[in-house]
């Protein structure tokens, strides 16, 4: 338990039975009445940001968290098998808990957030490099800007790419927006 006077951005707390991360906090001492702490808290489960006010000195439970770099090994039905890069320990997490899991290729390093020594969230790197396995050929002379076509990637994901992209090209894809970024060699 910590006092609300000790809050810092990024702390993970358990408030009303929910895990939240402190996004912003402000200590307020009005001319009348007692001091209080105004906070913006982000729910770890859904990502919604909520405002909550605490009395100054009120106790809240701080949750121990740990972020580790792990390597994605393979997918087995609805499970992902990950290996800790430091200890070589392997864990299994549900594929449904990972956003844009279809952009995840074997041997990719991911960040795993552990809450109370249990894997809570898997975050993909911002950009991944994947090969194109199937796409229609671009038509010569079709040079209108911002025209895209669908392309199938080595992981099975489908993204929109510019007309000049061919089968076998390696592309850099933004995992947050699923958007084509550039070709890589």
Q: What is the pLDDT of residue 140?
A: 64
Q: What is the pLDDT of residue 143?
A: 61
> Is 54 in the same domain as 106?
no
> Is 92 in the same domain as 47?
no
> What's the domain range around 35?
2-62
Which of 62, 86, 114 marks a domain boundary? Answer: 62
Bridge partners (DSSP) of residue 111 are: 69, 123
Is-contact 159 178, C-beta < 8 A?
yes
> Is 28 in the same domain as 42?
yes
- Give the count of domains, the chain: 3
**Helix ranges (DSSP H) in the chain:** none
Q: What is the pLDDT of residue 141?
A: 62
Is-contact 106 73, C-beta < 8 A?
yes
Distance of alpha carbon 135 from alpha carbon 151, whole angstroms:
5
Q: What is the pLDDT of residue 142?
A: 60
pTM of the model: 0.73
Distance of alpha carbon 30 from alpha carbon 17, whole angstroms:
30
Q: Dihedrals φ, ψ of 103, to 5°? A: -95, 5
Distance of alpha carbon 135 from alpha carbon 32, whole angstroms:
68
Question: What burial letters (b/e) apply to 134-171, b meaning 16+ CB within 10 Å?
Answer: ebeebeeeeeeeeeebebebebebebebebebeeebeb
Which of 91, 107, 123 marks a domain boundary? Answer: 123
> Is 144 in the same domain as 95?
no
> Is 118 in the same domain as 132?
no
Which of 62, 79, 104 marks a domain boundary? Answer: 62
Q: What is the pLDDT of residue 144?
A: 64
> Is 176 in the same domain as 162?
yes
Q: What is the pLDDT of residue 92?
A: 93
For each of the chain's 185 residues, which pLDDT tens digit applies? 889 888 888 888 998 888 898 999 999 999 888 899 999 998 887 778 999 999 988 999 998 888 899 999 999 888 999 999 999 999 999 888 788 889 999 999 999 988 888 888 888 999 999 999 999 887 666 666 778 889 999 999 999 998 888 999 999 999 999 999 999 97
User: CATH number of the domain that 137 lies in?
Assistant: 2.40.50.140
């Amino acid at each position: 338990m910590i006092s609300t006077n000790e809050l810092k951005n990024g702390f993970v707390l358990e408030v009303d039975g929910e895990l939240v991360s402190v996004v912003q906090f402000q200590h307020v001492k009005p001319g009348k009445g007692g001091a209080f702490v105004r906070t913006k808290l982000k729910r770890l489960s859904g990502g919604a940001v909520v405002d909550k006010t605490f009395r100054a000195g009120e106790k809240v439970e701080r949750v121990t968290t740990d972020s580790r770099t792990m390597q994605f090994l393979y997918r087995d039905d609805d499970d992902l098998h990950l290996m800790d890069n430091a200890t070589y320990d392997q864990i299994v997490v549900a594929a449904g808990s990972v956003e844009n899991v279809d952009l995840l290729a074997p041997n990719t390093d991911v960040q795993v957030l552990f809450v109370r020594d249990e894997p809570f969230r898997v975050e993909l790197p911002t950009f991944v490099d994947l090969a194109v396995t199937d796409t229609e050929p671009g038509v010569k002379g079709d040079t209108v800007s911002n025209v895209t076509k669908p392309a199938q990637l080595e992981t099975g994901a489908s993204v929109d790419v510019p007309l000049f992209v061919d089968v076998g090209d390696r592309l850099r894809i933004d995992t947050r927006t699923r958007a084509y970024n550039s070709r890589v060699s």
